[in-house]
Amino acid sequence: MPAIATQGLTRSFGPVTALSQLTVEMPTGVVGLVGANGAGKSTFIKILLGLLPPTSGTATVLGLDCLSDGLKIREVVGYMPESECLPPDVSATEFIVHMARMSGLPTDVARERTADTLRHVGLYEERYRPIGGYSTGMRQRVKLAQALVHDPQLVLLDEPTNGLDPAGRDDMLELIRRISADFGISVVVTSHLLGELERIADHIVSIEAGVLQHSTSTAAATEFSGMMLVEVTDRGPEVVERLHALGAKVTTGAQAHSFVVAIKDEQVLDDVRSVVVDLGVGLIRMQRGRHHLTEMFSTPQEALHG
């Protein structure tokens, strides 16, 4: 069963269509939902939580219908909103215990879960200080903790890295990855930065102006775009000519003895080796490159990344 499935999901606000005919399946694991500001990410998340009804179309979360099973969905799903929503004059412990109690946990269980969750997000030492004195990174962690405290099966995280400096971003991304890896909780995380989602997501969905652009597994996307940089000691043009004759797709650049070969299958690796041996030239390197999704999602190019 997919974590999330939608069929023709559409939501309009007057003349604005925030989501348009979105049909997509998201697997369990970490899914990155990417789109520019205003692309419709927050609207999508609110519909999934059963907080906002769609104009048309359907959506399910863990097999539950977003329109009719909203209450049940909020029991098994955690939500970290984008906006600042924390009271400044209570401590993280007080706030998280309160949220745990609101979700129906008895007081002693709520206290225990709060301590565990705050430890997990790295706020255990600071847990009795008022939230008002926290840094942005710490406040983001409190928001994350309240999404996790009732032990959900899935969490929806809306722009969790917003406002963080590079080190804070790295820590938050690492934490998100661990939520899935250590606890088996599925994650849908939104960002306007594809590069950061690419680092942690198993699957990427991108939307633009409410319309689905891509839905792809991260591994398949990077494998599909495999390229290899080949450098030989001499007779570069002859090597290229032979490879062309064998049906390989080769792109040459300014350097006579280095070129880029598309890896359409493993055969091409053997072809390079045998051509080099046949011509008696030395092989300096065969370096497999990896296209970043960032490039694939814009214009495919033949640049290589180590």
Ligand X SMILES: Nc1ncnc2c1ncn2[C@@H]1O[C@H](COP(=O)(O)OP(=O)(O)OP(=O)(O)O)[C@@H](O)[C@H]1O
Binding site for ligand X (CB under 6 A): 13, 16, 18, 35, 37-43, 82, 159
Nearest residue (CB) to ligand X, 66 versus 240: 66
Nearest residue (CB) to ligand X, 205 versus 243: 205
To ligand X, the closest distance from the beta carbon of 16 in angstroms equals 5
To ligand X, the closest distance from the beta carbon of 77 in angstroms equals 18
Question: At which residue do the structure tokens 């994350």 appear?
Answer: 144
To ligand X, the closest distance from the beta carbon of 36 in angstroms equals 7
Q: What is the C-alpha radius of gyration for the chain, rounded to an integer number of angstroms?
A: 24
Nearest residue (CB) to ligand X, 158 versus 198: 158
Residue 12 φ then ψ, to 5°: -115, 150
SS3 content of the chain, % helix, strand, coil (to 5): 40, 25, 35
Report the Cα 9 to chain-centroid distance in Å.
21
To ligand X, the closest distance from the beta carbon of 299 in angstroms equals 23
Do residues 152 and 72 touch, judged by C-beta distance below 8 A? no
Nearest alpha carbon to residue 176 among 162, 197, 195, 192: 197
Nearest residue (CB) to ligand X, 82 versus 231: 82
CA distance 168 to 161: 8
To ligand X, the closest distance from the beta carbon of 33 in angstroms equals 9
Nearest residue (CB) to ligand X, 39 versus 296: 39
